[in-house]
Structure formats: structure tokens, C-alpha cells
Amino acid sequence: MKAEGLPPYLRDALRRYGVHEFYPPQSEALRKGLLDGRRLMVSTPTASGKTLLALMAAYKHVAEGGKVLYLTPLRALAAEKLQEFSLFLGNEFRAVASTGDYDSADPWLESYDVIVATNEKADSLLRHRAGWIDRISLLVADEVHLLGDPERGPTLEMTLTRMLANNPEAQLLALSATAPNAHEIAEWLKAELVSMDWRPVPLREGVYLRGDVIYSDRSVKKVDEQDYSPAISIVLQTVSDGGQAIIFANTRRRAEQYAEKAASALSSSNLLSQEDRDFLTSVASELEQSGEASAFTERVSSLLREGACFHHAGLGASHRRAVEYAFRQRHLKVLCATPTLAAGVNLPARLVVIPELRRYEVGEGLRSISVTEYKQFCGRAGRPGYDEYGEAVSIAHSDDEFDFIFEKYVRGRPERIWSKLASQRHMRIQVLAVLASEEIRRLEELEGFFGRTFLTHQFGGSMTAKVLKEVVGFLVEHDFVKAGGTLEATRLGRRVSELYIDPLTALTILKTCSKRPKNLDELGHLQVVCMALEVPRVPMKRVDAWKLKKFVEENFESFFEVPDPAEDPDGYDLFLDSVKTTILMKAWVDEVSEGELYEKLGVEPGDLAVLRERCSWISYAASQLMAIEGNKALENAFMLLSERLAYGVRAELLPLVSLKGVGRVRARNLYNSGYRSLEDLRKASVDQLAKVPTIGEKTAASIKSQL
């Protein structure tokens, strides 16, 4: 189908975007009323053109005076989608991404036509009753199959439930990978389903066994193994043919090992052109100059130069940008990634290799991955415009394993998507949010509201009612909700909902701080923060348990019950993990460099970024809880700690790091050079400031212009 018959502004936008003919799923969506305001759910494979449908529908809405909210599960995806909207809409309409600061209604978003937000950000905006949300005329929900994700699913489900309840006239466009029960989700959303297995680049799924790759059509390709492992040998053949490859690994360590092997193999095989080498050397050099020096950065840049690198959550923002840019420009030949990439940014390759189909899970041992996850890996194979086909290859080590992979994965269908909203943790959070921000005052009304969820659609109202009664009982018992003839969120309950934290986290903070220990010092404040449920446990170097226990006894006044290692080994390990996180965050606010934190504790930049942001938020939330309690001393202490955690500085540097372009290193250099306040900086000239190490003329001029 061609673009004739569309409004002129859409034809111009499509031409600007490089689209001259529609894919079959796009034609079907247009036929079913995409541009007529119809609710649609589009369930098609990766790269089948779902984003273009959102762009066209959004342009029509804003051209007619409407407002668009685009929901995405990841911040990286939000940035990617913002770029696409900006290109498609041109200069006539304004698009923006909003992904952080959960304690604000963000009234400034009122002036934008298209708002790209993470599911969590949209959830928080609903809790703050942002006035402009009532004006949303088009709601786009990307990756809606993540309803079945235990962590992200409940937030997406409740955000959709509340948005559709508050904006019943708004058009909905739900975008999803193929799912066996897509019709069930569409039925819940009251949307018409567009479902196809069509891909712009055909996909060949195969299994390697003893030197051959056998494909689903029973065709066979010989693999020249040389001295490499099967995965690396398969990758080298694709690179030698001018393609790129992604290897999906179970763990970060395995991803790094594959990257090292691939880099060595590429070097030995001399498969990189001089143009590739020059480009990669330039990208690696820029990365090395972009921040603090560290062994981690050296490792990434070294692998980049060799044409193969890893991609996982440990990468910092600068590392991720460098790796993804080099891969998109087709000079980085091999990417070795953990599963997060499969559900993340758009980085297709001609070949996807899946060496292991089993993964170790805490408490479950070694288990097979789901068919859904396998198909997500496969979905990255094939680059539209570059490849005539995509290949996804798994590795078998025996005839029995070959048969198992073929039957379960190659010929298998993704698992049915189930609501994960019924968990106590998610229901605690969401029930309080509804009572705090919706006009609901009776249990029957609450049950009616949750009757609109996917949970109730799948399991019926009796299960939902049972969970609701248990959760409401908990919230009433702990003073988050008042119950008489009606249900009403207390002042504490409303604030906890706005702060976007688990009521159980708030309860723990309140109970701990109510002890008002005289020696609740900075380390104690950090311990309160790091024990929060929202603070993730990130990979660190193993520490001798006895030495750690001794350190805790000598340095910590423990405000939490320490589990008995004999009776509750998992609980004890969790406690020790929180202590390690506390020690890490103490080093961070004491200005220990990222490089040293990596060297001594093994904490990677991406993990550190997540931790410092999450801990800063929990510390801010603790300050707000102390304000409700009337504890001014702890309110101020947690607020100060929140700012220090955000920047990684001692208190005296906070005024300096408030300036754009002045991070912890530059701030310390300015302070040590005698510029200890904004007033000191005002008195200095650009030339004087430029002489401070790491400042230079450009940053000095920026500082003076801000002041």
C-alpha cells in the first residue's frame, strides 16, 4: 500500500522519513482505522514497522490539536523514540522525553505536543494528578507484551487501567511482539487486533551440531571451525561475508568472555578493514577522554578497537553510547550481550547466536529459558535495508539436545502472557496509589476499579477481591489508610504514594528512625537507605564474610534485626549485601573515584549509576517522611545526603556541582584552587578559572555565563 490518500502533511513526513510504501501490517492497521481514532493492538515481529504506526497516528492527533503520550519500558528506548518523533514531526510540533523525578506533576509538559515517558514516570504523573493528562487524545503503549514481566508488568497494567478509565475517549495504540494470547490482551483493552508473523527481512532459525547448522527448512550450512568455539566460528563466517553478529550470553561474565574471544579471532583472521580500524580507534579514544580513567573504560575501549565488545547493564552511559554508535555504524562487527539488549534498544544484526539456552536462577537452579525470550533473541536477526535474511543459531552438543532445541524453541510458540499484578508488593503500591489519587472511597468501588485490570480479566473478580482485602488491611493497620464508613488515604499514605516508594519501605524507615538513636550518623543514614526494597543488589567482588562481620560489629550500629546465618542464610546474605552497598555509597559520597570503586569493589559504572540514583531518591523520600514526623534534624540530614548521593561529593562541593558542566572532579579542583563558593567564582575571570586543572576556557566561560 502506498501513501496516496493520506493528508498532505503525513505524505510530507513519510517522504522526510524515507517511507514510500507501507509494510503489510501497516496497511492492515490503516485499513482497520489507525487514522480514524480506532483503538488498535498491533502484535507483529521486531522491525515490522510498528513505530511508524505510532508516528503517523501521533502526527494526525497533534495536527488536529490533540496531545500524545507514548509509554515505553526503558529510558534508553525513550531517548530513541524521542529522536524518531522529532524527525517525523519536523519543527512544527514539539516532542519531549520525561523519565525521572517521580515527585512532581511536571506542569511544564503542558506546552509539549508529544510526551515520551517510561511507564513508571507516567504512573507517577497520575499519582500527582497532572492536569494536562486529561488532554491526552492518543495513548501509545509500546512493548505491551511486558504485561507478563514480574517487575515491569504491574506498573504498565495499572498505568493503562488508570489512563483508560480517566480518558475513555482517547485513542489507544498498543504495540507488542507476537504473543499467543494477543487476542486476550486486545479484548481487555477493547481494541481491534492486528496480528501477523510478517517480517521485512526473512528469518532462518537453525541449530548447530558437529560442524553443521541445520535450519528449520532442513537446509544445512557447513561451519569452518578452525581452532575456535562453535559460536565464534559461526560469527566469523558472517563477518567475513560482510555481516554483523550478536551473541546472547546468560551472564555478564560470559558476555565479556565471548567478546574477548571474538576480538582475538577477528584480529587473527584480519577481518577488519582499515576504515573499520580508524573508525573504532577514534570512538575508543573519545571514550577514554570522556570521563574518569578506569580499568573498566580501558577494557571497553581496547575491545572496541578490536571490533568486538560486550553490552550489559554494567556499562556506563558513555560506554553504552560508544558501543551502540560503533555497532550502528557497522564498524563494530560483534556484540556480545546479556538478555537485556533483546528487550531494549534497536540494534539488529544479520546473525544472532544463542550458545546457551539454560540459565541459573537463585532459588531455582539451572533452568531452560522461555520460548518467549528465545524468540526475542531471534527477533534481533536481520537488518532492514542491509540484509536479505536474518539468521538465529543455537548450539547443541548432542543429538538429544538438538532434538530438544528444535522442538521446544525453533518450532515452539511463545508462552501465554499472564498478569503479574496479584503480588502483595505490587498490590500494596498500586492500591495505595488508587486510594490516594482517585475519587474512590469504598471497598466496593475499589473492587470495581480493579475489576478493569488485566488481572481480573484473566482470573475473575473473586481472586482480585481476596488480594484487595488483604492489602487494604495492611494499609489500614499501618496508618496509610483510614477506614470507617469509607476508605481514605492518610496524609502519610498520600505522601508515600507521591514519593513512589513501597509502603513497606516507608514503614521500615519510619520504624528505624523512630528509635532516634543518638549515634545515627552518616553511616547510619546510609544504612537506612540501603536496606530499602527499591535499592538493587548489584554485582560486587566477593568479600570474606568473617571480615565483613567484624567490620560491621566495629563500625555499624545496626538498626535492623540481623538474621541468624544458620536459620536464615538467604536473609543473612541479603543483610550483608546491604552492608556492602552502604560501604560503597559511603565511599561514593566521600569522593572515591569511579575507577577506584571498580578496582577495589568490582562495581561497574552502569551499576553505580543505578545505585546512586536510587539511593538518592530513597534518601529524599526519607527526608519527606521525617518532615511528616516533624523530625527536622533527620529531615535535613536525609535531604543533604540525597544531594550528596546524586553528585558523589562531600557537602562543601554542593554549590559548585549545581553548575552545569561541573561534576565532582572539576568541583574538587575548583575548591582546592580556592574557589569555594559561587561568590568566589563570580569574582574570578575566565582566564583565572581556565587555569584550574580540567576546567579550560570553554568550561570557564560556561561557568561565568551561568553565574
571: domain CATH number is 1.10.3380.30
Give the cell for residue 375: 524468540
Radius of gyration of the chain (CA): 27
Nearest-angstrom CA–CA distance, 409 and 450? 36
Residues 89, 13: contact at Cβ < 8 Å?
A: yes
Count how many Cα atoms sit within 13 Å of the Cα of residue 589 in the half-sphere of its side chain: 26
pLDDT at position 517 over 90: no
Residues 261, 268: contact at Cβ < 8 Å?
A: no
Question: Are 164 and 245 in the same domain?
Answer: no
Question: Are 491 and 559 in the same domain?
Answer: no
Could you report the per-residue pLDDT of 27-68, keeping only the tens digit for each? 999 999 999 999 999 999 988 999 999 999 999 999 999 999
pLDDT at 361 (0 to 100): 73
pLDDT band at 451 (very low <50, low <70, confident <90, very high): very high
- Closest CA relative to residue 498, chosen from 614, 635, 610, 625: 625
Could you report the per-residue pLDDT of 665-704, keeping only the tens digit for each? 999 999 999 999 999 999 999 999 999 999 999 999 999 9
Question: Are 289 and 223 in the same domain?
Answer: yes
Nearest-angstrom CA–CA distance, 444 and 448? 6
pLDDT at position 345 over 80: no
Nearest-angstrom CA–CA distance, 57 and 113? 13
Give the cell for residue 9: 502533511
Per the domain annotation, does 419 fall within a domain? no
Residues 419, 149: contact at Cβ < 8 Å?
A: no
Could you report the per-residue pLDDT of 134-189, keeping only the tens digit for each? 999 999 999 999 999 999 999 999 999 999 999 999 999 999 988 899 999 999 99
117 pairs with which residues across the strands?
71, 98
Could you count the other beta carbons within 10 Å of the beta carbon of residue 703?
Answer: 26
pLDDT at 585 (0 to 100): 94
The dihedral region occupied by 218, where left means phi > 0, alpha psi between -120 and 50, and beta the remainder, is: left
pLDDT band at 556 (very low <50, low <70, confident <90, very high): low
> Highest mean pLDDT: which of 13-27, 375-389, 613-627?
613-627
- Closest CA relative to residue 33, chosen from 177, 173, 181: 173
Question: Are 685 and 622 in the same domain?
Answer: no
Question: Are 389 and 434 in the same domain?
Answer: no
Per the domain annotation, does 418 fall within a domain? no
pLDDT at 363 (0 to 100): 63
pLDDT at 542 (0 to 100): 76
Could you report the per-residue pLDDT of 407-445, keeping only the tens digit for each? 999 999 999 999 999 999 999 999 999 999 888 999 999
* Residue where a domain terminates, one of 354, 375, 410: 410
Q: Which residues of 462-486 are buried (b: 16+ CB within 10 A; e: fewer)?
A: eebbebbeebbebbeebebbeeeee
DSSP 452-478: TSHHHHHH-HHHHHHHHHHHHHHHHHT
DSSP strands (E only) in 223-282 = 245-248
Question: Are 219 and 186 in the same domain?
Answer: no
Residues 224, 237: contact at Cβ < 8 Å?
A: yes
CA dihedral (378, 379, 380, 381) positive or negative: positive
Per the domain annotation, does 227 fall within a domain? yes
Per the domain annotation, does 415 fall within a domain? no
Better-predicted residue by pLDDT, 246 or 485: 246
Residues 244, 350: contact at Cβ < 8 Å?
A: yes
Per the domain annotation, does 417 fall within a domain? no
Nearest-angstrom CA–CA distance, 493 and 499? 10
pLDDT at 664 (0 to 100): 93
Per the domain annotation, does 416 fall within a domain? no
CA dihedral (504, 507, 511, 512) positive or negative: positive
- Domain with residue 491: its CATH number is 1.10.10.10
pLDDT at position 94 over 70: yes
pLDDT at 567 (0 to 100): 79
DSSP 193-234: EEE----SS-EEEEEEETTEEEETTS-EEE---TTS-HHHHH
- Range of 701's domain? 654-706
pLDDT at position 553 over 70: no
* Residue where a domain terminates, one of 166, 195, 224: 195
Burial of 506 (0-12, 13-18, 19+ CB in 10 A): buried
Backbone angles phi, psi at 307, to 5 degrees: 95, 5
Question: Are 446 and 531 in the same domain?
Answer: no
* Residue where a domain terminates, one of 195, 212, 245: 195
pLDDT at 573 (0 to 100): 74
Q: At what angle do helices 75-89 and 50-63 cross, to 10 degrees?
A: 60
pLDDT at position 654 over 80: yes
pLDDT band at 362 (very low <50, low <70, confident <90, very high): low
Better-predicted residue by pLDDT, 69 or 18: 69
Question: Are 38 and 56 in the same domain?
Answer: yes
Pairing of strands 351-354, 136-141: unpaired
| H-only helix segments in 289-391 | 295-306, 317-328, 371-378
| H-only helix segments in 117-229 | 119-127, 153-166, 182-189
pLDDT at 549 (0 to 100): 65
Give the chain's domain count: 5
pLDDT band at 555 (very low <50, low <70, confident <90, very high): low
Contacts of 35 (CB under 8 A, 6+ apart): 6, 56, 57, 60
What average pLDDT does range 571-577 have in this prediction?
A: 76
Per the domain annotation, does 326 fall within a domain? yes
Backbone angles phi, psi at 138, to 5 degrees: -135, 125
pLDDT at 558 (0 to 100): 56
The pTM for the full model equals 0.92
Per the domain annotation, does 337 fall within a domain? yes
Question: Are 87 and 131 in the same domain?
Answer: yes
- Domain with residue 276: its CATH number is 3.40.50.300
What average pLDDT does range 298-311 have in this prediction?
A: 97
Question: Are 172 and 264 in the same domain?
Answer: no
Better-predicted residue by pLDDT, 540 or 310: 310
Contacts of 461 (CB under 8 A, 6+ apart): 447, 451
Pairing of strands 192-195, 481-483: unpaired
Q: Is 212 helix (H, G, I), strand (E, B) or coil?
A: strand
Q: C-alpha distances in angstroms, 254 versus 251, 260, 278, 449, 505?
A: 5, 10, 28, 46, 34
- Domain with residue 688: its CATH number is 1.10.150.20
**What is the average pLDDT score of the chain?**
92
Q: At what angle do helices 461-477 and 443-450 cross, to 10 degrees?
A: 130
N- to C-terminal Cα separation, the chain: 56
337 pairs with which residues across the strands?
248, 311
Question: Are 526 and 608 in the same domain?
Answer: yes
- Closest CA relative to residue 681, chosen from 649, 646, 656, 644: 656
Question: Are 157 and 214 in the same domain?
Answer: no
